[in-house]
Amino acid sequence: MAAEQDPEALEALAAARPLLTDLYQATMALGYWRAGRAREQAEFELFFRGCPFGGAFALAAGLRDCVRFLRAFRLRDADVQFLASVLPPDTDPAFFEYLRAVDCSDVTVPLLQVGGPLLVVQLLETPLLCLVSYASLIATNAARLRLIAGPKKRLLEMGLRRAQGPDGGLTASTYSYLGGFDGSSNVLAGQLRGVPVAGTLAHSFITSFLGTEVPPDPMLAPAAGQGPRVDLAARVEAWLDRVCAHLGRGVQEPHRGERAAFVAYALAFPRAFQGLLDTYSVQRSGLPNFLAVALALGELGYRAVGVRLDSGDLLQQAQEIRRVFRTISGQFQMPWLESISIAVSNNIGEEELARLAQEGSEVNVIGIGTSVVTCPRQPSLGCVYKLVSVGGQPRMKLTEDPEKQTLPGSKAAFRLLRADGSPLLDVLQLAEEQPPQAGRELRVWPRGAQEAWTVKPARVEPLLRLWVQRGQLCEPLPSLAESRAFAQLSLSHLSPDHKRLEQPAPYPVALSDKLRALVASLLAGGSS
């Protein structure tokens, strides 16, 4: 695994650009500027109203990309010129001069409350939503898949080709790793984000071989480096006879092109040989060919790493293959062969994953593409970014649609924990209120409940951390691997009732007395 890289050049490529935004952010910028309100201090909150996939938890992700974006935020000349071309031709040129000087040096971000000049924090809406929404969705999806798979299966994300274009794929690989996957097939995610990468061979590699090709150098030295080099292809043919005799198969059955491909791959990767078994027929061709190559390598002191299946009944085939590995490893005294890895892929969703992860399954590695990347059960998270205060005054959207109402005012958020460390509820309160105290009773109003609850937390954790103050990073961002460990730790503390994937108990989120009173007074006044 490579270290996470972050030089300026890569950052410029990876991060969103200032014009990756909805046009109305620019029209509103002109509106604020024309009204003399561009520099007024404002605060927005970025949040989602419900957990995705019918679950009761979500991982909030995307901080890293948001911080990168904020620090680099600056409209270039070409950007301002383009905006000028789509705004009215009689727009005051002073507005464009103003835009040229705009950056995030007055913006403060505890994730994800965003405070700063009204014009600037409005401009940030769309890119921040874009950076957080899908990242959180796929991290949560990955966490669900990890819960289904259990801790021992190796989960690989391989959905790049199913993502929404290049950066969709990069985002997917990064945040499925954060959510609990072990790695990705996506090389760029390894290079730019330090995600562990994995991959071996596709069917095309195998079908490209007829078996008539003559390798320029079929010779392989023993693993220990001592002893003469041997002709691997010739040794494989000898082993094939013994394998076929043991399996009761004719030596003509296994496809010679497939065997040539395995030999070619083994010559390139003698210490990391893996066979893809289902190009022609697993039982009649792929498995005997693989075994012949694995045993020939074994004779030279190399250990094949495993096999992959990409079609058919994956679980059943894995069980059969493991049985064959056991008898062959005994028969030919290669004990390591018994436990080599069986990897599977092919459109695996939540249901099939549960089957593959059941007790007694011989599957070790599970590659998931489409269903982790596209989140088919809910392909978007309804993140919103709402104005909660301007000039220190709370703001609230008082629409006739109660679903779309917002909670006004600059806020703080705390997680109240039981003595065993498990979370009891989260509480939102006004920023100026005293934080809840451990061991002290507190009255709160859970959303959706008719009455107040009185709770006595054993511990209190603040949920909003200040990451960017006046444009400057307050503390180093955690590495991706650290964020991944933190996410898994947080999940491990959550009660199984909330972690249940179907019909979980909702996790309570409550308002403080004061916040609830502010909402009530604004609702009664009909005005913010």
Within positions 260 to 289, which residues make up the interface with a second copy, using CB under 8 A? 261, 264-265, 267-269, 271-272, 278-282
Which is nearer to a second copy, 282 or 356 (by Cβ)? 282
Q: Which of 50, 97, 202, 358 binds a second copy (CB under 8 A)?
A: 202
Footprint of a second copy on 8-37 (CB under 8 A): 13, 15-17, 19-28, 30-37
Q: What is the nearest approach in angstroms of a second copy to the Cβ of residue 22?
A: 4
Footprint of a second copy on 343-382 (CB under 8 A): 370, 373-376, 379-380, 382
Q: Which of 39, 205, 231, 459 binds a second copy (CB under 8 A)?
A: 205
Separation CA 236–CA 295 (nearest Å): 8
Separation CA 277–CA 504 (nearest Å): 40
Which is nearer to a second copy, 133 or 429 (by Cβ)? 133
Query: With contact defined as beta carbons under 8 Å apart, do 372 and 162 qualify?
Result: no
Footprint of a second copy on 120-139 (CB under 8 A): 122, 125-127, 129-131, 133-135, 138
Which is nearer to a second copy, 149 or 387 (by Cβ)? 387
Separation CA 262–CA 273 (nearest Å): 8
Q: What is the nearest approach in angstroms of a second copy to the Cβ of residue 17?
A: 6
Q: How is the beta sheet containing 365-368 ordered, strand by strand? A: 183-184, 154-157, 365-368, 341-344, 306-309, 274-276
Q: Which of 49, 50, 150, 187 binds a second copy (CB under 8 A)?
A: 187
Q: Which of 61, 170, 407, 480 binds a second copy (CB under 8 A)?
A: 170
Which is nearer to a second copy, 101 or 214 (by Cβ)? 214
Q: What is the DSSP code (8-state) at residue 235? A: H
Q: What is the nearest approach in angstroms of a second copy to the Cβ of residue 379?
A: 4
Q: What is the DSSP code (8-state) at residue 339? A: G
Q: Which of the ranges 239-247, 393-401, 474-482, 487-495 carries the binding residues for a second copy, by CB under 8 A?
A: 393-401
Query: With contact defined as beta carbons under 8 Å apart, do 448 and 104 qualify?
Result: no
Q: Which of the ranges 331-339, 398-406, 455-463, 478-486 carries the binding residues for a second copy, by CB under 8 A?
A: 398-406
Q: In sequence order, what E strands does 431-524 have?
A: 442-446, 453-455, 459-462, 466-469, 472-473, 509-512
Query: Could you tell me the CA-to-CA distances from 109 to 76, 115, 139, 154 in Å, in that order?
Result: 23, 6, 21, 36
Which is nearer to a second copy, 217 or 359 (by Cβ)? 217
Q: Which of 107, 143, 318, 396 binds a second copy (CB under 8 A)?
A: 396
Q: Which of 355, 397, 447, 459 binds a second copy (CB under 8 A)?
A: 397
Q: What is the nearest approach in angstroms of a second copy to the Cβ of residue 120?
A: 13
Which is nearer to a second copy, 129 or 247 (by Cβ)? 129
Footprint of a second copy on 299-328 (CB under 8 A): 311-312
Query: With contact defined as beta carbons under 8 Å apart, do 135 and 193 qualify?
Result: no
Q: What is the nearest approach in angstroms of a second copy to the Cβ of residue 433?
A: 23
**Of residues 374, 371, 403, 373, the one with CA closest to residue 386:** 403
Q: Which of 393, 422, 492, 521 binds a second copy (CB under 8 A)?
A: 393
Q: Is 293 helix (H, G, I), strand (E, B) or coil?
A: helix
Footprint of a second copy on 139-168 (CB under 8 A): 158, 160-168
Separation CA 167–CA 498 (nearest Å): 32
* CA angle (28 as vertex; 518, 62 as ends), nearest 5: 70
Q: Which of 50, 54, 150, 215 binds a second copy (CB under 8 A)?
A: 215
Which is nearer to a second copy, 174 or 329 (by Cβ)? 174
Which is nearer to a second copy, 161 or 229 (by Cβ)? 161
Separation CA 142–CA 197 (nearest Å): 16
DSSP bridge partners of 389: 43, 394
Applying CB under 8 A, what is the total number of residues that bind a second copy?
Answer: 127
Separation CA 370–CA 242 (nearest Å): 40
User: Would you count residue 244 as binding a second copy (CB under 8 A)?
Assistant: no
Q: What is the nearest approach in angstroms of a second copy to the Cβ of residue 208?
A: 5
Footprint of a second copy on 67-106 (CB under 8 A): 78-79, 82-83, 85-86, 88, 90-91
Helix or strand (DSSP H, E) at 439: none
Query: With contact defined as beta carbons under 8 Å apart, do 430 and 447 qualify?
Result: no
Which is nearer to a second copy, 113 or 185 (by Cβ)? 185
**Of residues 273, 255, 126, the one with CA closest to residue 200:** 273
Q: Strands 219-220 and 230-231, how do they pair?
A: antiparallel
Q: Which of 169, 298, 423, 508 binds a second copy (CB under 8 A)?
A: 169
Query: With contact defined as beta carbons under 8 Å apart, do 309 and 278 qualify?
Result: yes
Q: What is the nearest approach in angstroms of a second copy to the Cβ of residue 230?
A: 16
Residue 132 CB partners (closer than 8 Å, separation 6+): 46, 60, 61, 62, 66, 112, 383
Separation CA 485–CA 288 (nearest Å): 41
Q: Which of the ranges 97-105, 191-199, 433-441, 493-501 carries the binding residues for a second copy, by CB under 8 A?
A: 191-199
Which is nearer to a second copy, 302 or 445 (by Cβ)? 302
**Of residues 191, 171, 188, 177, the one with CA closest to residue 65:** 171
Separation CA 466–CA 443 (nearest Å): 26
